[in-house]
Structure 1
Amino acid sequence: MNRIAPLFIAHGAPTLAIELDHAMNKFLGNKLSKQYKGQDAPKAVVVFTAHWEDSIANNGVAITFHDANTVYDTIYDFYGFPDEMYTIKYPAKGAPQVAQRIEQLLNQNNIKSRREYKRGLDHGTWVVLQTLFPGAKIPVVQCSVDPRSSIETHYNIGKALAPLANEQVLVIGSGSTVHNLGRVNWGKKTPDAWAVEFDDWLVDRISKWNTEELFAYERFAPNARAAVPRSEHYVPLFVAMGMTHEEKTSKVIERFYDLGSLSYLSFSF
């Protein structure tokens, strides 16, 4: 099997699930999904989602250990949206052997982990997967992130999981590079300059694999505090990036903005 490149996917607002003409849905469903057909389909998808936070220092990376015959619950971790949002189901099943492999790789690299048997799929996972893999036929493992831990910590998690890319497993970091709901401009059709400037810096530093500045982005990046008020949407990017530590290759696969500053910058590594 060919290596399956890890991805960072910007999942945007939950309403992406019902906005079928949205540019991100068109990208996921009409372009990206075509890469995973037939023999190129992954045997499982692993998602590090911005919407599952757990302490790495205290508990380790949380990993869903759902049975291969058990359907995940669909979590509606949002409120105030149209009623149809709360009727969507993504009935994926677990991939316990892949979950065990994640656990093994993390433990081999002295990174703590814990098993989670009950948690369903949050919208950082199912909003992306329902378009990328409709029908929920590919099993899923969901993993937590920790905004209290460093960028380097998440990068090292990715380094530990690098073998998965050669084991027919697709790893996705689901979040957003610029995610400040207090700064969105409702109805605005053009991007805010400050958000573009931050993403420009990020694309440049990733292309140069400048981990020194990336790990200390708060000090080096323009508009860092505005772009990343909390890092839960930002850190999934570095899990995916860390998986390519040896090759140091990256590619921007999508980039545009909603509401002025909500970034859909996405990468393949």
Structure 2
Amino acid sequence: MINSLFLCHGGPTLVIENNEYTNFLKELGEKTKPKAIVVFTAHWENKITTISSIDTCYEMIYDFYGFQEELYSIKYGAKGSPETASKIQQLLKSHGIESKLDTKRGLDHGVWDILYIMYPKANIPVIQVSINPYMAMNRQYDLGEAIKSLGEEDILVIGSGSTVHNLATVDWTAAEPVQWAIDFDNWLIEKVENNDKDALFSYQDLAPYAKRAIPREEHIVPLFIAMGSGQSNEPKLLHRSYAYGTLSYICFQF
């Protein structure tokens, strides 16, 4: 049973693409059927951890501009779960972590971009959670660890972000990944697989090309939350591929 994942959600066009990564996501969804899905999304930032708590279908948030018209008509009719949202809040409270519930916000593309591919029937409750990119990485890990017990209830935690996320370096015509992005991911993968948390918490100082790969930390924060919420002592790289030169599609199981 998989209880914690880190997934790269890529660009909004992922939902209409057919490639190695989308095929992987489809297969992963077919193998993993949780009772509920909790997604920490890089596209929702808040100083206080905020948890979606609705019992109806989510509204859609199209938080991108200038893409194909068909992307703005995509619907993902997942419902929320106030019961699970409350459970998350209680777990965080028991670990001294402040949080609040939200009953209005819709799903952003950091959530529906991957779930649309993995679970197209939208028949699994989804709980969307915000991230705070200004919090230290060890505290991100602690936040994930606070909800670790969700895995025992067959609730899947997903950190949705990206390992290399620098839109200024994206090349829409590139056929192969650039070397510096590969070098950064090589370092990251080695440290994750060796469970070297000390090095990972200081990745900005230790990893090659860290500042270029992650100029702002909101997209890598979900990795540390997913890592903390995992129940395995042997993290596993499930997938690795690239698009547009520097956009990495990486999936870890924790």
Indicate if the aligned counterparts of 1:47 and 1:141 stay in contact, CA closer than 8 A: yes
Matched residue, 1:168: 154
Indicate if the aligned counterparts of 1:4 and 1:166 stay in contact, CA closer than 8 A: no
Indicate if the aligned counterparts of 2:22 and 2:117 stay in contact, CA closer than 8 A: yes
* CA distance in 2 between partners of 1:233 and 1:217 (Å): 14
Q: Percentage identity across aligned positions?
A: 48
Q: State the secondary structure of the residue aligned to 1:265.
A: strand
Superposed CA offset, 1:109-165 (max 9, x none): 001101111000000000100111112111110000111111111111111010001
Matched residue, 1:111: 97
Q: State the secondary structure of the residue aligned to 1:255.
A: strand
Indicate if the aligned counterparts of 2:6 and 2:161 stay in contact, CA closer than 8 A: yes
* CA distance in 1 between partners of 2:194 and 2:240 (Å): 19
State the Cα distance separating 1:23 from its structure 2 match: 2.1
Indicate if the aligned counterparts of 1:180 and 1:226 stay in contact, CA closer than 8 A: yes
Matched residue, 1:264: 249
Matched residue, 1:237: 223
Q: Does 1:10 align with 2:33?
A: no
Matched residue, 1:33: 29
Matched residue, 1:66: 54
Q: Does 1:43 align with 2:41?
A: no
Q: Which runs of 5+ in 2 are unaligned?
A: none
* CA distance in 2 between partners of 1:73 and 1:47 (Å): 16
Amino acid in structure 2 at the alignment position of 1:61: T
Alignment of 1:1-269 (within 5 A): 3-19=1-17, 21-29=18-26, 31-36=27-32, 41-55=33-47, 60-67=48-55, 70-244=56-230, 247-269=232-254
Superposed CA offset, 1:189-217 (max 9, x none): 11111001000100111112111111111
* CA distance in 2 between partners of 1:265 and 1:83 (Å): 27
* CA distance in 1 between partners of 2:21 and 2:62 (Å): 20
Q: Which runs of 5+ in 1 are unaligned?
A: none
Aligned length: 254
* CA distance in 2 between partners of 1:195 and 1:225 (Å): 11
* CA distance in 2 between partners of 1:206 and 1:164 (Å): 22
TM-score, normalised by the number of residues in structure 1: 0.92
* CA distance in 2 between partners of 1:17 and 1:74 (Å): 14
- Consecutive aligned runs of 4 or more in structure 1 exceeding 3 Å deviation: none
State the Cα distance separating 1:43 from its structure 2 match: 1.1
State the Cα distance separating 1:22 from its structure 2 match: 2.5
Indicate if the aligned counterparts of 1:103 and 1:113 stay in contact, CA closer than 8 A: yes
Indicate if the aligned counterparts of 2:3 and 2:155 stay in contact, CA closer than 8 A: no
Indicate if the aligned counterparts of 1:33 and 1:132 stay in contact, CA closer than 8 A: yes
TM-score, normalised by the number of residues in structure 2: 0.97
Indicate if the aligned counterparts of 2:157 and 2:229 stay in contact, CA closer than 8 A: no
State the Cα distance separating 1:266 from its structure 2 match: 1.1
Amino acid in structure 2 at the alignment position of 1:51: H
